[in-house]
């Protein structure tokens, strides 16, 4: 089973190679690594491969899927949970096998959301820089005690529940909004309408998938409904947030803090070293000017435990495809 692994960073190679070595049927699996992201200009690299293995910013739109299919590729293996970057309708038409890793250490992402909240609230990133320079002044580092505050979780699935549990542990009152409320969440917090969550929460944390219904869920109107000075946290997908509207809300002080691990235009920036380049994204650069904005480059998933799980499940999905076995993680059923 020859598989072309796109957007392969050194850690992808390490964890996939280690998983292949320990996988019982690992001998039949041949992985070739490509640093580049998959898009129309790189799809040709998949010539001669049975499958492609991709990540969040690889682009599997209709032209790319058709190109892959014409090259003989029959399986798409996502090393992530979200599949908003795949044109599922076209994949279905072409009969492609698409499988994802629906859950891998949801706590890893929840803990990163916590790291963002704590860092931004107490300004530990700025405090650390100051102390290194011998500046022990506290001005500008004033935070809020989180105990007793209200946290709103939008999307109370696996990561949302893990985040809710952590925030509850801090002594927050936890509200949740999800069109499909879960019993797991109900045991931790209270499900309310989105408008109520936005109006009452000191921290709003997004954990729903990016779909046509959730695109720009955070926009001018929803930001206006938020409690003035609240913190918005997005570790889910950049497209949930209208960044222009967020910048306006930051400028007007309606939004107090913004912490993001994802960004709508991240594919041009994230997972690359651009430290010697001119960043050609004025919206992103504007965000960088706010002292009350914290951005990380899509690293919520980035723990040893999560990468081990991602690699193991990806190989299992590949094996299911090769054997024609039922695959619980399949996103698309082949058209028969």
List interacting residues with ligand NAI (CB under 6 A): 81-82, 103, 106, 109, 154-160, 177-180, 207-210, 213-214, 235-237, 261-262, 298, 300-301
**d(C-alpha 290, C-alpha 171), whole Å:** 28
List the structure tokens of 231. 């913190």
> In terms of CB distance, is 34 or 271 closer to ligand NAI?
271
Active site residue 266: yes
Nearest to 308 by CA among 16, 7, 3, 13: 16
**d(C-alpha 315, C-alpha 54), whole Å:** 13
Cβ-contact 112, 236 below 8 angstroms: no
As measured in angstroms, the least distance from the Cβ of 237 to ligand NAI is 4
- In whole angstroms, how large is the CA radius of gyration of the chain? 21
Kindly compute the dihedral angle of the four CA atoms of residues 301, 303, 304, 307, in this order, to the nearest 10 degrees.
10
Q: In this chain, which residue has its C-beta nearest to ligand NAI?
A: 157
> In terms of CB distance, is 155 or 256 closer to ligand NAI?
155
> In terms of CB distance, is 29 or 152 closer to ligand NAI?
152
As measured in angstroms, the least distance from the Cβ of 334 to ligand NAI is 23
Residue 72, Cβ neighbours under 10 Å: how many? 12
Half-sphere exposure of 203 (CA within 13 A, CB side): 30
> In terms of CB distance, is 52 or 164 closer to ligand NAI?
164
Instruction: With both helix axes pointing from N to C terminus, report the angle between 106-122 and 158-169 in degrees, rounded to the nearest 10.
Output: 40
- Catalytic, out of 237, 264, 309, 316: 237
Active site residue 305: no
> In terms of CB distance, is 155 or 189 closer to ligand NAI?
155
**d(C-alpha 325, C-alpha 177), whole Å:** 36
Query: What string of H, E and C letters represents the secondary structure of 115-175?
Result: HHHHHHHHCHHHHHHHHHCCCCCCCCCCCCCCCCCEEEEECCCHHHHHHHHHHHHCCCEEE
- Catalytic, out of 107, 266, 309, 316: 266
As measured in angstroms, the least distance from the Cβ of 84 to ligand NAI is 7
Residue 114, Cβ neighbours under 10 Å: how many? 21
In 171-270, the DSSP E strands lie at: 173-177, 190-191, 203-206, 230-234, 255-260
Residues annotated as part of the active site = 237, 266
């Amino acid at each position: 089973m020859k598989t072309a692994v796109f957007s392969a960073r050194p850690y992808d190679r390490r964890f996939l190679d280690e998983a292949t070595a320990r996988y019982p049927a690992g001998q039949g699996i041949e992985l070739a690594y490509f640093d580049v992201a998959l898009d129309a200009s790189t799809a040709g690299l998949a010539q001669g491969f049975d499958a492609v293995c991709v990540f969040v910013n690889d682009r599997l739109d209709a032209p790319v899927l058709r190109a892959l299919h014409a090259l003989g590729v029959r399986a798409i293996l996502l090393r992530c949970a979200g599949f908003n970057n795949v044109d599922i309708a076209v994949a279905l038409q072409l009969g492609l096998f698409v499988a994802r890793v629906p859950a891998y250490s949801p706590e890893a992402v929840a803990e990163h959301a916590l790291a963002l909240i704590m860092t931004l609230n107490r300004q530990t990133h700025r405090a650390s820089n100051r102390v290194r320079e011998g500046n022990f002044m506290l001005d500008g580092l004033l935070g809020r005690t989180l105990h007793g505050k209200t946290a709103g979780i939008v999307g109370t699935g696996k990561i949302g529940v893990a985040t809710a549990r952590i925030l509850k542990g801090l002594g927050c009152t936890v509200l949740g909004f999800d069109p499909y409320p879960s019993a797991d969440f109900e045991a931790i917090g209270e499900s309310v309408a989105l408008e109520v969550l936005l109006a009452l929460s000191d921290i709003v944390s997004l954990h729903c998938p990016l779909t046509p219904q959730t695109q720009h869920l955070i926009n001018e109107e929803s930001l206006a409904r938020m409690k003035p000075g609240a913190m918005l946290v997005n570790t889910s997908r950049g497209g949930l947030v209208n960044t222009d509207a967020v910048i306006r809300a930051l400028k007007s002080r309606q939004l107090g803090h913004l912490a993001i691990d994802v960004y709508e235009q991240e594919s041009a920036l994230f997972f690359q070293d651009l430290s010697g380049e001119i960043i050609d994204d004025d919206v992103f650069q504007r965000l960088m000017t706010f002292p009350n904005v914290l951005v990380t480059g899509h690293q919520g998933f980035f723990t040893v435990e999560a990468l081990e799980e991602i690699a193991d499940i990806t190989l299992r999905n590949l094996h299911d495809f090769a054997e024609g076995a039922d695959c619980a993680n399949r996103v698309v059923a082949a058209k028969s």
